[in-house]
Structures are given as structure tokens and as C-alpha cells.
Structure 1
Amino acid sequence: MSARPLPAMADKTTWRKPLQSHRAIVLARGFFEWTGERGSKTPWFMSHPDGNPMGFAGLYSWWPDPSRDKDDPERWTLTATIVTSDAVRTLAGIHDRNPVILPEHMWLQWIDPSVLGDQALVDEAVHAGVAEAEQLRIDQVRTFGTKDDGPQLLQPVSG
């Protein structure tokens, strides 16, 4: 699931509490997007040019399962979302959105519970994430299925 920061994301009931007190950084080596029509889609892998992990702006929540007893510790489910923004120029031909990639200097600020989780913080993260997203390495990779796994999925198609 992804959360698109609307002009007033901090005012939306769905995001208000997580933004105020449940911010996370989702570390990733990169992310996939697909282009093309059904049956002939092309996978793309976006990654940091130096291979370092990226930190996506994330939000999380705990949800109770109403079918379980209130004293059952397994009653709670952790859910998370990645904040997305309109695609930067370099990615717009692949998808209309991209994850908000926090520069490392913002990581502690994003997760610091003493920092006010308001629209200004979201706007700052989105703005700072533009430069991070515009420098991504974009590689076409081999087509794969949902059951496929392994480092070969990240290898660029040659030629």
C-alpha cells in the first residue's frame, strides 16, 4: 500500500495519527515498476547509483482483529505504507508516482517522535526526495513472475 501526499495529507483522518506518531523508514535496495500492456510488460528496477540502500518515508499502524479476544496478544496486526509523490521527471515515463526517498540527513528527523508530524514535514520530505529520486539508476531487468526470487532479478538486461 502507498500513501500519496495530498496537499492536506496531515488533515486526512487516515493519515493524521500515523503521521504524528507512527513514522518509519522503509529501507530498500531499490524498487520495481512495470511498463507496457498486459501480456507484454517490461520490468524496471530503480536503485541508488552507488548501490546503497534507500530510505523511503513510511507510516505504520497497529490494527485490532475484532474476531479475537481483547486479551489475545495475537489480536494486533502491524500495517505499513510508503509515502509516494508525483513522479519526478526522470521516472514519469515509467510510472506516475514514486516513493518519497528521504535523504540520509532527514532519516532521524522523520522518525523522531519529538518532531511535529504535520503537513510541513510531509512537504519537506517530498521536496527533499525529488533530488534523491532524480538521481536513481534505472535498469530494464528480465521479466519475472511472483514466485521468482533471487539476485538475478536485479541484473540489467544487456544490450
Structure 2
Amino acid sequence: MKFDRYDLKILEELQKNARITNQELADRIGLSPSPCLRRVKALEESGIIRDQVTRLKASALGLKLCAFIHISMDRHTPERFENFERHIREYPEVIECHLITGQSADYMLKVMVPDMEYYQEFLLNKITPLEGVTGAHSSFVLRNPVNRTELPLTHLGH
């Protein structure tokens, strides 16, 4: 899909605030409301705009421990990966799951939990017993100086 400056500006603005009204969005990008709304609908229908969510402050909800878990698997078969991924999707503590390369691990999970005690129970009772898991190495977040959801769009303007 080709993007013009209006499309890019719409995407930038909606990434900053998905709750913006169509009138406000139109004013910010320099279009009238009707064409602005048509462009937003086209971006949604094309799948570029996937969904709109509300970000919550994890620490205010008691989720004070963020961990990355590198998971090693015993076999690299589609069935083994599908089984692991099916189970991982059931755990709300898993915020992200990535199949990775270039490391000794096969998966990297981002997990949010209240504390170390909860983490230990989660790791020992839910992650390590999964069929095929041969190793789990944890890293804990000390500070998070960059935490954005906006995707960079600068490469699209070329």
C-alpha cells in the first residue's frame, strides 16, 4: 500500500491518541472530516490499523516485576512449537512471546507479575513443565527508559 503525507500523519496521530475525534484528527492533518474518516476506514480495512487499546500502568495494578525468559526447546518441529505456543497463549502473565534466532534460546517471553515469589511459582509450575522445554533463563528489568507502542514511520516517507 502506498502512503501519502495525509496517511502518514493520520497514523502518527492515532498512535499518539487513538481516542482523538475525527474532527480533531482532520484539523491536525489539514483535511476536512469526511475524507479524513474515509482514509481512516481504508487504513482499518487494509489491516494497517489493527486495533485500538488502552495502556495501563502496571505498577499501579501491583505488577512490579517484569522479566524476560529465554526458553530452549528440545526439538525444532512445528508440532513442538505449536504445542508450546498454544499453552503460552493461555497465560495472561505472558505479555509477549517471540520465536527468536541468534541466541541459544528458541523463544523469548516478556512476563509481568507482582513479585519474585509469584514469578518463581509461575516459572516452576507453568513454564518449565511444558513439554519440550529444556531450559529457561531469566533476566529482570531494573528500569525502562524507553517504553513506546508507536511504530517508526519515517521510512515510509521516502
Relative to its length, the structure with more strand (as a share) is 1
TM (normalized to structure 2)? 0.26
TM (normalized to structure 1)? 0.25
Q: Which is higher, the Rg of structure 1 or of structure 2?
A: 2
Relative to its length, the structure with more helix (as a share) is 2
